[in-house]
Structure formats: structure tokens, C-alpha cells
Chain A
Amino acid sequence: MADLDYQIVEEAAKETYIRALCDLPPDVRDALKRAYEKETNPTAREVFNAIFKTIEIADKDKTLICQDTGLPIYMVKIGSKFPWNGYQIKNRLTIGARRATQEFPFRGSSTHPLTRVNPQTSVGEGLPVIHYDFVEDSDCLDILMIPKGSGSENMSKMQMFYPAHGIAALKKFVIDTVFETGANPCPPGIIGVGIGGTADLVMKLAKEAIVRPVGQRHHDPQVAEMEEELEEAINSMERGPMGLGGKITTLAVHIETAYTHITQNPIAINTQCWPARRSRAKIYPDGRVEYGY
């Protein structure tokens, strides 16, 4: 185990949280602009104008795009050639999230589920959420930070269908969820869909789906085709930005898949609002940090 200064991980955890809240990824900005060009409904165009003004102010003033600073989620990919200490990574991500909240400072939203006491730290038992994965032939520690607001997270849904229900049931579940959730997840955002796996894995897949850059399709052509098909269907609903009517109801449908049990056909939906916030830090063994999205 080489001696990496884990202060670097703590700083990156703090910095990515703040960056994610203030600086929207370029792919999301481009997708919003493309959507605006297609939109003809005057109310919807007014919504887009407010969105663009918001992004402009956040850029200029280095301020929060949305007041809901969310619950912190870190998706960590550890390269096979990166010298790492798992406990240190977990510990420093937690401290970094707390420091971002208290030093910026912004509203902490983490709360005890029964007493509802809010420590104003954004962390607490079980938080931040950290997902780990391991990558071959990489010397990098890749940290993707997602501040997940409740407007969209509250609209999450999952269902354990059976094989007999077929693919049609999955498609219907997506359409019906978008119909029911309407204006609440602050559309037009990203509809993240998980298909396959177990009950816990399927929701994790849906979460991974919302952080894929807008415009990227799934590597499997069959899945990519389903993404396109659902995207087109949702954008023919005329629900529009903020549910006030219009052509654009979603920027993208992203699907992630995993093998499942022969008797199972699970699906999960995790929606992401138009401020589809994420920020990335890549840390190298020499202590170098590269920030991105």
C-alpha cells in the first residue's frame, strides 16, 4: 500500500459536491439547447428561457443552481493499478461531503428517518451513499459525485414483473410512471431505467442510467433501440417542461441492464430533473487531480 495523502480524496469529495451544485455538465446544457430549438409551445419556451437564465446566473455568480442540495452519492471506480485503502476512501468521502455543506455553506438535507432531526451535514448513518466498482488496467481513482434532490428522487419506482409479462410490461411501466409523476420531477430531465438484476441491483442500475452523459446510447443495439423508442413515445405525450404542456417532456431515456433470475423481470425508474447535476474527480497515484463531469 503506497502512501497516498488521503487529504486529496477529502478535498475532491468536497470540491465535486460544490462543483456539481453550481456547474451543469456540458452534455446537459447542449441537450437543453437542442430541446429548446425543437419546442414550439410558448409556455414551454418561457420555461426554457428561465432555465437558461438560471444556468447563466449560476455560472456568473458561482452560486447554486437549485436550492435542493440533495443527498450525496459517490460512484467510485478504483483502478487495478491504483494503490488504495478502502476505509480511507469511505471516511474521506464522508468528511468531504460534510465539509462542502458547512464550508460553502449550503442547506444540509440529511435527516434521521424517525426523529427527523437534521444535523446540517448532508451525511449521517448510511450517508453518503457510496457505490464501488473496480476497473482493469487503470491507475486512477475515479469519483463521480451526484447530489440527488428529492423532487426527482421521490418519483422513483420499481416493480418485480414476471417473465410472462414480457417486454411490453416494462415499456408500459415507464410510460405510466412518466404520466403519473407529471410535473413533480422538474421535467425535462433524464428518465433512468434499470432492467434486470435483483431488487437492489435494479434500482442501482436506474441510478447509473441517470448519470450517463446525455446523447450517449447503450452499447447493446437492442437496448439502444428501446431507449430511442421510449424517448420518442414520452416526447409525444405533450406534457412539456414543468408539466405545463409542450413538445419536450424528457431530454433522454437511459437504460442500464443486468442478468436476472429465470423467474424474474424487474424494472426500476429513477428520474433526474433538468438540472442533471454531476461532477467528477480523477485522482492519480502521484496526487494529481483532474476535474470533469
Chain B
Amino acid sequence: MATHHLQTPFTDEVIRQLHAGDVVYFDGTLFGIRDLTQIYMFDQNHEPPVSLAGMPCIHTAPSLKKIGDKWEKICIGTTTSTRMDRFSPDLIGRYGVKAIIGKGGLYEGSLKAMQKHAAVYLAIVGGSAALETKQVEEVEEVYWEHLHPEALYKFRVKDFGPLTVAMDSHGRNLFEDVKEITRKKLPEIYAKLGITI
């Protein structure tokens, strides 16, 4: 289990060095997206007004307040990724996103896109918004403001993490590996509890 301190944008070479189980912290740019952001992009065909190439995207609906022209953070946390799985292959393939950050993981199609285009899924600790908010230095830009709190956000982050490489660009999915370990234990657990299948 290696620990990596990275800087955005991420190159393919850097991404290929990450393996399931590794820990990542990074500095630089982080884009915030959610269900509605991606429905707007992919189902309603709106091109993002900023390049996402080489960048990480986090699944979030942040609490922000606007003071004059400036957006201030109140609370920035992470939501469940599985709901947004269907957008992820295009986010990686079409827009060159190198890391998707969330909780719960994504499915097989997304894993294949990660293998093909050199991208990773980084699992954050769900529920730890206080920590994430602290690591966001600034809300640099809010694009598609009318969609807030599900707009497209550009954050500047420092030492953002810990993030666990849960799906790597070599076809490994830590969530699935762990699930398989548990699945193999189920018969023994059933037997101990007096459950006959």
C-alpha cells in the first residue's frame, strides 16, 4: 500500500502508477459535479464551459453562500457515486477526466473506461465533510450557476485526502475484491447462526 502526493493535472503515466489499495493526497484543481450537472451535460447536450482534461471530479452538492461575486464555502461533502455510474465512461472517454472521487464505487463499464483511458476511482471517507471542507482552499468558479447546488464547481484544494484507490486503470476494483472475500465467508456465517439455505 503506497501513499502518493500528487498535483493536478494528472498525466496518464501518474495514473498508471496507482494501484488498488494505494492512498492518494493531491493539490490543485478539483471539479465538483452531481446528478443534475451530468444530466445537463450528457442528456441535454451542454458542453462544459471549461476543460476537464487531466482533472479529478468529485460527486458533491456543496453548501455555498454568495457574497457579492464571490462564492464562500459552508460545507462540501461527498455523495454516493453508484447513482451516477452511467455518465462516468463518457466523463472519462470524452472529456478526459482522470479521477472520479466519491463513495460506494462505480460498475464494470466505468472500470473498463478507466483501463482504456487511464483513469481511477478514488474512494473518500463518506460523512467526513468537515475534513473535506477544510481541505478546499477556495471556490474558484461556479459554472452553470442556475443548477446550484448541482452546478459545475471549480475548487482549489490542498492535501486533499486521504483517498483510497478503489478502482485502478489495470482492471482492479477493491470494492468487488472485498465483496468476494465476504461472499466466500457467508456459508460459514450462516452455519454459525443456524441458517440453512
Report the minimal beta-carbon distance from A23 to chain B, rounded to whole angstroms.
11
Question: Using Cβ atoms and an 8 Å threshold, which residues of chain A touch B82?
Answer: 184
- The 8 A CB mask of B24-41 against A (1 = contact, 0 = none) is 000000000000000000
- Tell me whether B194 and A168 are in contact (CB under 8 A): yes
B164 on the A face (CB < 8 A): yes
- The 8 A CB mask of A270-286 against B (1 = contact, 0 = none) is 00011100000000000
User: Which residue of B is nearest A149, CB measured?
Assistant: B127
- Tell me whether A66 and B194 are in contact (CB under 8 A): no
Question: Using Cβ atoms and an 8 Å threshold, which residues of chain B touch A186?
Answer: 103, 126-127
- The 8 A CB mask of A192-233 against B (1 = contact, 0 = none) is 000000000000000000000000000000000000011001
**Cα of A137 to Cα of B77 in the assembled complex, Å:** 44
Known interface pairs A107-B75, A107-B149. Does A182 touch B179 (Cβ–Cβ under 8 Å)? yes
Most chain A CB within 10 A, of B123, B125, B134, B190, is at B125
Count, chain A residues at interface, CB 8 A? 50
Question: Using Cβ atoms and an 8 Å threshold, which residues of chain B touch A4?
Answer: none
Q: From the candidates B23, B129, B134, B193, name the one contacting A67 in the complex (CB within 8 A).
A: B129
- Tell me whether A182 and B175 are in contact (CB under 8 A): yes
- Looking at chain B's contact residues, is the secondary structure mostly helix, strand, loop, or mixed? mixed
- Tell me whether A54 and B1 are in contact (CB under 8 A): no
Known interface pairs A172-B195, A229-B193, A233-B192. Does A50 touch B162 (Cβ–Cβ under 8 Å)? yes
- Tell me whether B129 and A66 are in contact (CB under 8 A): yes
Q: From the candidates B74, B78, B125, B185, name the one contacting A105 in the complex (CB within 8 A).
A: B74
- Tell me whether A43 and B126 are in contact (CB under 8 A): no
Known interface pairs A50-B162, A233-B193. Does A273 touch B126 (Cβ–Cβ under 8 Å)? yes
- Tell me whether B149 and A57 are in contact (CB under 8 A): no
- Using a CB–CB cutoff of 8 Å, the interface residues on chain A facing chain B are 42-43, 46-47, 49-51, 53-55, 57-58, 61, 63-68, 105-107, 149, 151, 154, 168, 171-172, 175, 179, 182-184, 186, 229-230, 233, 236-245, 273-275
Leading 10 A-B pairs by shortest Cβ distance? A67-B77, A54-B128, A186-B126, A67-B129, A50-B125, A58-B130, A57-B130, A54-B131, A245-B178, A66-B127
Given A57-B131, A58-B130, A243-B175, 13 additional A-B pairs, CB 8 A:
A47-B125, A50-B131, A61-B130, A63-B130, A67-B60, A107-B63, A171-B193, A230-B193, A233-B192, A237-B189, A238-B185, A239-B179, A275-B127
